[in-house]
């Protein structure tokens, strides 16, 4: 653009200079012609007067200011000439200045000399003797005028050229510079200083560019904010989320999704296989793209279970525009589900055994198949089995009550020592039977809790400490107020718990050695109930146990300290 403006400026300057030169040369020539004409005319008249005194052409030329003097007869015959011999000159009768000559005023004619082939101006006047006096002078004409003016024209051209070049340079600098600067500023991303250099039109352009860039910038900021929002939501989402386009290329992948698939590389824009090569996911994604169908399935990844939902993203008749994959960690739910089904299996199994026994014994009694002595024994067995069933049902009911009412349970200030004492008394018979000594160390310590729940908690712990003890063993129940809260400790000298089982004994229906036949009667729900109650009160349970040496269960609960 700079070059184009430059060239145009110079060409315009050249044309202007040439035109000016030609016009001024033409004017100069016209002016010169006019002057020559007047001068020659006056000379012609003056010489015609001198002719009356001395008609010698040579003499007369002395007054003609360097002009040529010719005397022509009325018939055109050259009588005398100051520059040539009259005899050698042809007849001038047909020449315009001779034809038009009159006696009153001199006539001037400018034309090319036929003899000398150069532009001449002629002035003629009729003399008193009838002859014609002709004065001739070489005359440059318009072409001559131009040649005459050439040095001036060249000088003017040179000056015009310099002025044009200078102006073009200044102009291009002033107009192009702001545009070039604007382009540089835009490229550098700093367009706040965009200016049109004071030129209205350029200001208009830069103003528009500025407004446009502002708009682009704003929409870019909005897009970035939206992207940030989505990324923020995705990064905070525990569920794994992946968005694919119709070519199965990853458009978005949340932090959790990458964590689930253990992917550390950049995945945006790459194929889904970079994230996961799972066949089930690949098939489901393919179906979503081609058949617009949904896929829901569970997937085991490491130790966790994820519910995977693959959905096509479609819009009307356009088919699948993309696919979303959502992975929800359902490990706990699936475990709870399996625990529930295990719970029902176990509960039915546990209930079925005593029912079968009771039914068998009842039929024996009904059919009179046992004698009197035996029947007392059978009645005792029926009673024991009924007790077992009752315990099981009671524990199941406790669990279901705890699950439904933990938050709504009625609370009061409960003296833990009092509850512990009540539990010890209630289990004294069982302890005696098992030949186990129960010792209670109680202090004044209170918790804000549900009394029945505190009873269930202590009852299960002390019951276990007696049940899983050894003959002549002991159980220490202690209730203390410590810095960390109300501490319940139940320690026994019993069979202890193997390290492998220690993490599982709080699970529902988990019983060590279940199925081995040598198991102590129980429901497997006692410690699950304890755990439920403790977590409902935001407490903690600690377990220390060594197989063959004994077990100590410590429960820490928030202590209730009424302000006096
Ligand atoms: P259960 O009704 O079988 O006692 P629990 O939930 O109370 O059910 O206990 C689960 C399992 O933990 C028991 O089957 C038992 O094997 C083990 N256990 C609980 N307490 C003790 C303890 N004090 N000493 C040894 N083993 C224990």
Please write the tens of the pLDDT for every residue from 350-363.
788 889 989 998 99
Assess whether the C-beta atom of 132 lies below 6 angstroms from ligand 1: no
Supply the pLDDT for residue 141: 63
Supply the pLDDT for residue 142: 60
Supply the pLDDT for residue 263: 87
Top mutation candidate among 388, 393, 468, 534 for ligand 1, by most atoms within 8 Å of CB: 468
CB contact burial 203-228 (16+ within 10 A = b; e otherwise): eeebeebbeebeeeeeeeeeeeeeee
Supply the pLDDT for residue 296: 95
Supply the pLDDT for residue 308: 95
Determine the distance separating the centroid of ligand 1 and the alpha carbon of 337, expressed in angstroms: 23
- The percentage of residues in the chain with a pLDDT greater than 70, rounded to a whole number, is 92
How many CA atoms within 13 Å lie on the side-chain side of 41?
Answer: 15
Tokens 């040579």 sit at which residue? Answer: 58
Supply the pLDDT for residue 196: 67
Supply the pLDDT for residue 145: 58
Assess whether the C-beta atom of 495 lies below 6 angstroms from ligand 1: yes
Top mutation candidate among 499, 522, 549 for ligand 1, by most atoms within 8 Å of CB: 522
- Residue 400 C-alpha from the chain's centroid: 51
Supply the pLDDT for residue 412: 94
Ligand 1 atom closest to the Cα of residue 395 is 2
Assess whether the C-beta atom of 512 lies below 6 angstroms from ligand 1: yes
Low-confidence ranges of the chain (pLDDT < 50): none
Assess whether the C-beta atom of 524 lies below 6 angstroms from ligand 1: yes
SS percent in the chain: helix, strand, coil, step 5: 50, 20, 25
pLDDT digits (tens, 9 = 90+) for 483-502: 999 999 999 999 999 999 99
Supply the pLDDT for residue 163: 81
Determine the distance separating the centroid of ligand 1 and the alpha carbon of 339, expressed in angstroms: 18
3-state SS of 127-189 is: CCCCCEEEEEEECCHHHHHHHHHHHHHHHHHHHHHHHHHHHHHHHHHHHHHHHHHHHHHHHHC
Judge contact between 304 and 329, C-beta under 8 A.
yes
Supply the pLDDT for residue 33: 79
In three-state secondary structure terms, 310 is: strand
Judge contact between 451 and 487, C-beta under 8 A.
no
Ligand 1 atom closest to the Cα of residue 523 is 2
Supply the pLDDT for residue 148: 66
DSSP state of 520: P
Ligand 1 atom closest to the Cα of residue 460 is 7
Whose C-alpha lies nearest to ligand 1, atom 13? 511
Determine the distance separating the centroid of ligand 1 and the alpha carbon of 456, expressed in angstroms: 15
Whose C-alpha lies nearest to ligand 1, atom 23? 465
Supply the pLDDT for residue 197: 67
Burial class of residue 562, CB neighbours in 10 A (0-12, 13-18, 19+): exposed
Assess whether the C-beta atom of 494 lies below 6 angstroms from ligand 1: yes
Q: What is the dihedral of CA 205, 208, 210, 214, to 10 degrees?
A: -160
Assess whether the C-beta atom of 532 lies below 6 angstroms from ligand 1: no
Determine the distance separating the centroid of ligand 1 and the alpha carbon of 118, expressed in angstroms: 144
Assess whether the C-beta atom of 475 lies below 6 angstroms from ligand 1: no
In three-state secondary structure terms, 121 is: strand
Supply the pLDDT for residue 233: 84
């Amino acid at each position: 653009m700079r070059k184009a403006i430059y060239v145009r400026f110079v060409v315009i300057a050249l044309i202007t200079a040439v035109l000016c030169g030609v016009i001024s040369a033409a004017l100069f020539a016209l002016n010169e012609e006019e002057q020559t004409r007047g001068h020659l005319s006056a000379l012609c008249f003056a010489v015609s007067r001198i002719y009356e005194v001395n008609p010698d052409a040579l003499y007369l030329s002395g007054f003609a200011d360097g002009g040529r003097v010719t005397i022509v007869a009325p018939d055109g015959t050259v009588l005398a000439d100051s520059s040539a011999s009259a005899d050698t000159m042809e007849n001038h009768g047909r020449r315009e200045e001779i034809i038009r000559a009159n006696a009153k005023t001199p006539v001037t004619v400018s034309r090319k000399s036929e003899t000398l082939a150069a532009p001449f101006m002629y002035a003629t006047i009729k003399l008193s003797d009838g002859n014609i006096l002709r004065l001739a002078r070489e005359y440059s004409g318009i072409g001559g005028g131009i040649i005459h003016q050439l040095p001036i024209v060249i000088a003017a051209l040179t000056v015009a050229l310099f002025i044009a070049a200078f102006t073009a340079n200044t102009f291009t600098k002033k107009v192009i510079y702001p545009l070039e600067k604007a382009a540089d500023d835009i490229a550098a991303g700093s367009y706040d200083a965009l200016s049109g250099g004071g030129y209205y039109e350029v200001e208009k352009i830069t103003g528009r560019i500025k407004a446009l860039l502002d708009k682009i910038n704003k929409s870019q900021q909005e897009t970035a904010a939206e992207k940030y929002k989505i990324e923020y939501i995705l990064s905070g989402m525990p569920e794994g989320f992946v968005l694919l386009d119709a070519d199965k290329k990853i458009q978005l992948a949340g932090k959790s999704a990458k964590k689930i698939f253990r992917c550390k590389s950049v995945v945006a824009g790459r194929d889904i296989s970079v994230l996961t090569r799972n066949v089930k996911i690949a098939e489901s994604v393919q179906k979503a793209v081609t058949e617009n169908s949904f896929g829901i399935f569970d997937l085991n990844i490491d130790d966790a279970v994820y519910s995977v939902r693959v959905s096509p993203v479609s819009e009307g008749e356009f088919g699948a525009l993309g696919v979303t994959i959502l992975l929800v960690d359902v490990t706990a739910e699936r475990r709870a589900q399996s625990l529930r089904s295990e719970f029902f299996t176990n509960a039915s199994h546990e209930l079925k055994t005593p029912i079968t026994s009771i039914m068998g014994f009842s039929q024996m009694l009904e059919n009179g198949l046992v004698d009197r002595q035996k029947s007392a024994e059978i009645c005792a067995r029926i009673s024991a089995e009924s007790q077992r069933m009752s315990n099981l049902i009671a524990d199941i009911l406790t669990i279901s009550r705890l699950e439904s009412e933990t938050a709504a349970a009625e609370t009061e200030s409960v003296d833990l020592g009092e509850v512990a004492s009540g539990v010890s008394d209630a289990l004294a018979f069982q302890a005696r039977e098992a030949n186990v000594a129960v010792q209670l160390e109680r202090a004044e310590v209170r918790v804000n809790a549900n009394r029945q729940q505190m009873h269930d908690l202590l009852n299960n712990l002390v019951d276990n400490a007696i049940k899983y003890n050894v003959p002549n063993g002991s159980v220490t129940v202690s209730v203390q107020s410590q810095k960390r809260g109300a501490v319940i400790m139940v320690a026994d000298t019993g069979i202890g718990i193997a390290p492998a089982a220690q993490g599982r004994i709080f699970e529902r229906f988990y019983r060590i050695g279940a199925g081995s036949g040598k198991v102590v009667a129980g429901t497997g729900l006692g410690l699950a109930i304890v755990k439920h109650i403790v977590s409902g009160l935001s407490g903690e349970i600690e377990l220390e146990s060594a197989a063959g040496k004994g077990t100590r269960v410590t429960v820490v609960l928030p202590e209730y300290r009424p302000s006096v």
